[in-house]
Homo-oligomer: A and B are copies of this chain.
Amino acid sequence: MSKPRTPSIKMVADRAGVSVATVSNVLNGKPNVSPDLVLRVRDAVKELGYAVDFGASRLRSRKSQLAGVVVPDLTNPMFASFVSTLEHLARVDGFDLVVVSARNDPEEEADRLRNIRSWRPAGLIVIPCDGAFAKRLPEGFSAPVVLADRIPDEPGFDLIAVDNSAAAGAIATHIESQGYKDCLVVGSWLSISNVRERWEGIRKAVKRLEVEMLEIGIDDPEGADRLERRLRGRQLPGALFVLDHGSSLLAYRTMAEIGISAPRDIGFASFDDMEWMRLVAPSITAVRQPVEDMAEQAWALLLRRIRGSAGDPATRRLRCAIEIRGSTSRSLRQDAGEAQKGGMTCTLQEGRYSPE
């Protein structure tokens, strides 16, 4: 009836017949410890099934091998993939991740940030809910923070994002070049920097095309109503360009319900290329964001900061790829048959956009 506690460094030391300091030195690969002792320690470790206690280790050494990750919504495939990539990269560098989802709620984000702070992570990677992120970062938070994907209202942060404006502009130009006269642009909220930048990119790019913006929120029934009313209205827009994945799902479903389909009745394009956009027939013209790259760069930057690199906050914009597919094709308007074969898929090379 004793207490078989999980083995500590002390037990290892006893069993190996050395001091705890020596065990620590062996475990951390410090030089100046004789080969036979290394062996004895290793054996003892194995026999006891010992594993260091990261908490205690961090407490004393003041070095944490833990990073925090905050995303708006883990169920969004974009963010899931972001986290997944991050998690792998971090692991390679010996870091673990505390992952939290803010569920699109700034309050919750603030709460999670406060909470995560108590784990004393070496750094933080955050995709903020909205622009007011700076106000939610607990004051006195000293670990480096790298933001991704969304731009904060206040500057002063390291940031990895994509070139929203140019990508959206490229799609708008494509739509225009297909001969569409007007285009309804749909997005969750203009208060989200991505949506805003994309909308502005469109306005900057178009020449003759008439564009009109509609905000429909996130999981908001009223927004869904607004969209449906607009699509049922007497004047169906020539094309529909949706600026985020959530809205795309809603829009595509709504179109199906109403019985209009792309490109027969309307041109359709979307941000955030997803698997399903390639699977539906005809497949959907979309902007593909380099999520993995984003994760990679964010992690690289954070790691540099953790290792002590000073310097002004850096902002990097990554280039998106444009996938032109059937849903915006004017020539497919009549014969919707061929489409699913995927032969229509191509990558826009015009301007700064490069092929796969």
Contacts and interface: CB of A to CB of B under 8 A. Distances in A.
Interface of A: 6-7, 48-49, 51-56, 58-59, 73-75, 77, 80-81, 83-84, 87-88, 91, 96-101, 103, 112, 114-120, 138-140, 142, 249, 252-253, 256-257, 259, 261, 274-276, 278-281, 340-342
Contacts of A257: 341-342
28 contacts: A6-B140, A52-B118, A53-B59, A54-B119, A54-B120, A55-B56, A55-B120, A56-B59, A73-B84, A74-B80, A74-B81, A74-B83, A74-B84, A74-B87, A75-B84, A80-B80, A83-B99, A87-B99, A88-B103, A96-B115, A96-B116, A98-B99, A249-B275, A249-B279, A252-B279, A261-B340, A274-B276, A276-B279
A119 B55 contact: yes
Contacts of A6: 120, 140, 142
Most chain B CB within 10 A, of A101, A116, A278, is at A101
A147 B136 CA distance: 36
B118 A53 contact: yes
Q: Which 8 A-B pairs have the closest CB atoms?
A: A276-B276, A74-B84, A55-B55, A49-B140, A80-B80, A99-B99, A54-B118, A256-B340
A138 B50 CA distance: 10
A247 to B, nearest CB: 13
A84 B101 contact: yes
Q: How many copies does the complex hold?
A: 2
Contacts of A97: 98-100
Contacts of A112: 91
Contacts of A51: 114, 117-118, 138
B75 A87 contact: no
Most chain B CB within 10 A, of A7, A91, A112, is at A91
A292 B84 CA distance: 20
A60 to B, nearest CB: 10
Contacts of A99: 83, 87, 97-99
A116 B75 CA distance: 23
Contacts of A340: 256, 261
Given A75-B77, A96-B116, A253-B279, A49 B88 contact: no
Contacts of A55: 54-56, 58-59, 119-120
A117 B59 CA distance: 17
A115 to B, nearest CB: 7
Contacts of A81: 74-75
A341 B276 CA distance: 17
Given A49-B140, A276-B279, 6 more contacts: A74-B84, A75-B80, A87-B99, A253-B278, A256-B279, A259-B341
Nearest to A81: B75
A281 B59 CA distance: 57
A347 to B, nearest CB: 18
A197 B299 CA distance: 40
A317 to B, nearest CB: 24
